[in-house]
Amino acid sequence: MNRFDYVRPRTVAEAVAAGAEPGSAFLAAGTNLLDLMKIGVARPARLVDLNHLPGLAAIEHAPDGGVRIGAQVRNADLAYDPDFARRFPAVAEALLSGASAQLRNAATVGGNLLQRTRCAYFQDTASSCNKREPGSGCDARDGENRLHAVLGWSEACIATHPSDFCVPLAAFGAVVEIEGPAGRREVPLQDFHLLPGKTPERETVLAPGELIVALRLPAEAAAFAAHSRYAKLRERTSYAFAVVSAAAGLRMQGGRIAAARLALGGVAAKPWRTEAAEAALLGAEPGADAFRRAAELALAEARPSGENEFKIELARRIAVRALTLAAAGTPDRLPALPASPFAPIPGGLHG
C-alpha cells in the first residue's frame, strides 16, 4: 500500500474542499476502497474521512410516504428499519442479499453506490484494463468473461456494476443528492452511473470534490410495496455477487397491472432499468405470457461480450421470476435466503 495523507474534516464543506484536491479519495467504511488500496488498484495520495461528519447518518421518513437516507447510513441499519422495510421491501431484500452480515453492518449507503467492479482484470494490476489504466486495453475481451456485460458494453470495457442495492433504487426512481464545489445538485440514480463508451475510467457523474450526501426514494415508490420483490441468481447463495438479478414492482387494480417497475443487475456497467418493458405491462393481466414479453423487451438490445451468451436468457428468466414473485405479493417477512429464487415464501402476504 502506498503512503497517503489522512484528513478528518469537521463539516461537509471542509470535506468537499479536501476532496477537490488532486489525488484525494473519500473514505466511508472502506469495505471496497481499502481492499483496492491493498492490492495496488487504488493509490490515493489523501484519504478524506467522512465518518465524523454531522447530519449524514439519518433515515428521514416523509409524511407523503417517501424517504431520505443519509449517505453514512449503514446498509444493515437501513434494511432492518421497520418503516423502511415496510414501504420499500424490494430495496431491503436487495440489501440483505449482498455481502456478509459483518460487511452490511459496516458498509454505507453512499459507498454502495460507488463500489468498483469485481472484474478480475480490473483487480489484477498485471492485466490490461482501460478502467484502471486508460488506453492500456481490455484483457477481459479475450479472457475469462462469462460473467461480464451483455448490455451497454463497449470495446473499451465489458465490466459490470456489482451492487444489489442500486438495482431496486433504479427501478423505483431514487434520486442522489450531491454536494460539491459548485453547490448542491440532484441526479436520478438511473443517470448516476455511466456506461463505458470510450472512457470507462469515468464510472459516475461525480466531478472532483463532489460528495454524495443522501439518497431519496419518492412516495410513488412506496405505492409498489404490496407487490415488490428482488431476485438474484449467483454462483453460490451465500456471499456472492449476482450473475444476474432483477427488481420488480407492480401496482394492481382490478386484477390488472396499473403500473410496473423493472430493473436488471449484473448485466451492464450500471443498473439497467427498462421502461419499454414497464410500458408493455400496463393494463396486462399478470402471468407468464405478459412477463415473458416484458423480459424479451428488457433484453432486446443485449448481445454477448464474450462467452456469456447464456446470460441473456438467464436475465430474461430472472426478470420473469422477479415479476412473478411481485405479482404473488410481498411476503410479510423476508425469506431466510433473501432474493434467492430457490427460497420458499414465508408467512402471509404484505398489506
pLDDT digits (tens, 9 = 90+) for 102-146: 999 999 999 999 999 999 999 999 999 999 999 999 999 999 999
pLDDT of residue 350: 54
Span 288-296, average pLDDT: 98
Q: What is the pLDDT of residue 351?
A: 44
> Residue ranges of the domains in the chain?
1-54, 225-328
Q: Kindly report the pTM of this predicted structure.
A: 0.96
Q: What is the mean pLDDT of residues 52-70?
A: 96
CB-CB neighbours of 181 under 10 Å = 13
> Which three three-digit cell numbers place residue 65?
410516504
Quick one: pLDDT at residue 349? 56
Q: How far apart are CA 203 and CA 79, in angstroms?
A: 26
Check if the beta carbon of residue 57 is closer than 8 Å to that of residue 75: no
Q: Which of 124, 194, 192 is nearest to 153 (CA)?
A: 194
Nearest residue to 57 (alpha-carbon basis) of 43, 69, 73, 42: 73
Which residues lie below 8 Å from residue 284, measured CB to CB, with a gap of 6+?
A: 256, 257, 290
Is 344 within 8 Å of 331 (Cβ atoms)? no
Q: Which residue has the cell 468537499?
A: 16
pLDDT-derived band of residue 345, with 50, 70 and 90 as boundaries?
Answer: low
- pLDDT more than 90, % of the chain: 92
**What dotted CATH number matches 1-54?**
3.30.43.10
pLDDT band at residue 259, thresholds of 50, 70 and 90? Answer: very high
pLDDT for residue 289 is more than 90: yes
Q: Which spans in the chain are helix H?
A: 12-19, 33-38, 75-79, 82-87, 89-96, 101-106, 109-113, 120-123, 166-171, 189-192, 219-222, 275-281, 288-298, 310-328
Cα–Cα distance between 298 and 314 in angstroms, integer? 12
Q: Express each pLDDT in 190-201 by its tens digit.
A: 999 999 999 999
Given this chain, do its domains 1-54 and 225-328 carry the same CATH topology?
no
Residue 17, Cα to own-chain centre: how many angstroms?
Answer: 27
Taking residue 48's Cβ as centre, other Cβ atoms within 10 Å add up to 25
Specify the CATH number of the domain 225-328: 3.30.390.50
- 233's enclosing H/E stretch is strand 228-233
At 4 the pLDDT is 96
Q: Tell me if residue 150 falls in helix, strand or coil.
A: coil
The 10 Å CB-count burial string (b at 16+, else e) for 152-180 is: bbbebbbbbbbbbbbbbbbbbbbbbbbbb
